[in-house]
Each structure stands twice: as structure tokens, then as C-alpha cells.
Structure 1
């Protein structure tokens, strides 16, 4: 009875269409997500974590950059506070992402928003904002189901690929440069989305700061790149709009 009710609720509803649009838009990005998850799974096991510990980490943390940052600290038995601090610094960008997404989901309860926050990712933010960033209407049901169509497949892809890396990574030849392949896959997704001057400035400034900040501890260069890129993008957007108003 419950199954029949679900089937009648899902197939031809606007929810399914919005979910499908989100899935369609994120589909190519899932290749990069899967590659990165597989690499992270291998890295967790090679750093000394047991397979069960690595599995628990990938499901609970669900943050590739934070996981990779914490692995050498865990391997060297650094204090727990330092491990958490390093992971927090790397993930500070999600504060910015969350603030940008808040107008779209503020009508939801705290629990539901926490759930969305847990399964959100860099890719989901980029894909969602590319479609709805300039939308006047915010908080619609279509936007929610579109977002779910992005984040749910992303979460599943990440965890499944990570577990493949955890349990099968030992069979992969070390000559395969999978980490470089993951970076190339991410670039192939991001670069086509850079279509405006503010986005170009954001990308250039963030890339420069990340490159210069490589020697900094706790991956502070990455955190600086996020902040610098956002500031550059916002300032460039302000200049563009001011020029349009004065024209």
C-alpha cells in the first residue's frame, strides 16, 4: 500500500522533473567526484587507517579536502584539536556556500537544513548557483528538488567510489596518476562555467593565492584562496554593475 502511494506520488510529479534536471546537470561532474573519492579512499588506507575506520570516516566526514588534510596529522599522532582545526580551516569555504544558499532553504526546519548541509559539496553549490543564482524567486519547491537531484547522487557517488578505493585500491598500480586525473576532471567541469568577468576574477585570484600559499601550514593557503576569490568576485561584480548604472 505504501509503495503504491509512493509510486503515484513520484513518477509524473514536478518533483521528479526537478530532481531529474538536477541529476542531468550534475551527471558529468560525477565522473570527477567518483575519481576524487576513489583517490581519497586509497589515501586513507595507505595512511594507516584500517578499512573499517576509513569507511566510517568517509561516511561521517564526507569532505575530501578535510579528509586528505587530516590524514598526515592522524598518521603522525598529532593532537585531536589540531586535526579538527586543520579540517575546519580547509572547510571554511562552506560557511560562504551556506550563506549563499540560505535564502533558498531558510523556510525549512533546522533539522532539514542540517541534512542538506551534510550532503552539500563544492560541485553541488557550483551547479545549483549556475542555474538559480540570478533567480528572483527563492525557496521554491522546484529549487529544493533540483538541489536534491544534485546532492543525493553526489553523496552516493562519493561514498561508493571511496569504498572502492578503500577495499580495492591495493590492486591499482602505483604508476597510475589518479590524483592528477581527478584534478583534470574537476577543471574540465569548472572552466566551462566561468562565463563572466567576476567569475574570471574569482578564479584567477583564488588560483594565485592557492599557489602562493602552498608552503603555509594547515592548508591555510586554500582558506585564503577561498576568501580572496570571493572578495575578488564580489568586488568585480560591484564594478560591473556600477558601470552598467552609469552607462
Structure 2
């Protein structure tokens, strides 16, 4: 929640600094609720990029949620479609990681415990994000640039992310995405971030398949 709040505050400040009004920024944080997509969209909005490009960039950055949804579907398929949509809307990266770490290997499905555990993670995360993001929206004009909040947010997220990277496919995904993002800084319209997401996913899937093949050979 600390990392989520810091990231939310930085996103709120970034929306105001990019020229959005307080109403537009508030609506964006409440309706989009996706920090990476919001930060990807902001420079495109500021440069008056075509609407389709803004949506495509946001879609690519958040394409990982298709994988999250497919992995979570067996646990929540008993819920109605609107409830699953709402749960998917509120699910975050950290919520997915925490849920799969706890229940990913469980053979039990359609358990109420799964739902209550997920809600216990996503609701506090949603509240902390919205509170911090709206605080950034309405106080962003008073935050000096010298505070380097972007770097503070990165450190907060790294403190959460690094302990979770415990397997070779995770390391492959992390290192590939990081390398592409660093090189991709030269690309316009935040395309380096989009390339990093795609490259990281491909590297992680390839490493996972290679690991499975080696396991089958040994067995």
C-alpha cells in the first residue's frame, strides 16, 4: 500500500503537470485506474496524438492483464460476468502476484475464500491509490520539481518487486524489459515502454517454455 500510494501520488501530480484540469485528472484516475497506462497516455495527450494511438498504447501497456484474467478465471468463473468485470477492473499487479503465490497451486476452485482474500487485497489498494492520486491532483501545483517524486515512486515499486523475482523466467522477463526500456528512451511517444512490455512478456514466456522442456528431458 505504501508503494501504491507513492505511485498514485506521482501519477496525480503528473496528470496536473501535463496540462489536464483537476476534473479531467480526477475522472482519469477514477475511471482508468492504471498507473502505467495513465503515464503512457499523458505525453500522447499533451502532444495531441490521435485518439486511436492513445488507446493502442494504453492497451499494449496493460496487455498483461489478459494473462492475469486467464489465470484467475478458473478461480472466479462461478461469478456473474458483471462481477468478474468489476473484479478484473480492481485487480492490480501486486494483487495478482499475492493471490497466485497463495492459491496458484491449489486444486480447489470456486471457493469463497478466494474471493474474500482477493477483495481484502484489492479494496485497500484501490482506496490508497485513489486517495493518494487525488491528493496529487489537487496538490500537484504546490509540489516543487526538486522533490524528484518520480524516482521515489520507482524505489517504492522496486522494494515490492525485487523480492518477488525468484525464478529464472522472472529474471529473464525483468532483465529483458529493463534493457529494452533503457535503450528505448530514445524512441518517441513512449514507444520504448511499449516495446519493453512486449519484450519482457516474450522473454518470460520463452524462458518458461525452455524450463519446461528441460524438466521433461530430465524426467
Which one of 159, 170, 179 corresponds to residue 208 of structure 1? 179
Which one of 114, 117, 137 corresponds to residue 166 of structure 1? 137
Q: Which residue of 2 aligns with 1:182?
A: 153
Write out per-residue CA displacement over residues 198-247 of structure 1, whole angstroms, 9 at most, x where no aligned residue.
Answer: 22222222222333333344544334433433343334334444444425
* Unaligned residue ranges in structure 1 (runs of 5+): 1-29
Query: Does 1:41 pair with 2:12?
Result: yes
Q: Is the 8 A contact 2:4 2:125 kept in 1?
A: yes
Write out per-residue CA displacement over residues 133-180 of structure 1, whole angstroms, 9 at most, x where no aligned residue.
Answer: 222223321111111111111111111101100111222222101110
Q: Which residue of 2 aligns with 1:32?
A: 3
Count of equivalent residues: 218
Distance, in Å, in 2 between the alignment partners of 1:153 and 1:112 is: 18
Structure 1 runs (4+) greater than 4 angstroms displaced: none
Tell me the TM-score normalised to structure 1 length: 0.80
The 3 A distance-change label for structure 1 pair 223 and 141 is: farther
Deviates more, 1:90-99 or 1:57-66: 90-99
Query: Does 1:222 pair with 2:173?
Result: no
Q: Which residue of 2 aligns with 1:117?
A: 88
Report matched runs for 1:108-147 at 5 Å: 108-147=79-118
Query: Does 1:65 pair with 2:36?
Result: yes
Deviates more, 1:201-210 or 1:226-235: 226-235
Task: Tell me which structure has the larger Cα radius of gyration.
Answer: 1
The 3 A distance-change label for structure 1 pair 135 and 176 is: same
* Unaligned residue ranges in structure 2 (runs of 5+): none
Tell me the TM-score normalised to structure 2 length: 0.89
Deviates more, 1:87-96 or 1:162-171: 87-96
The 3 A distance-change label for structure 1 pair 49 and 193 is: same
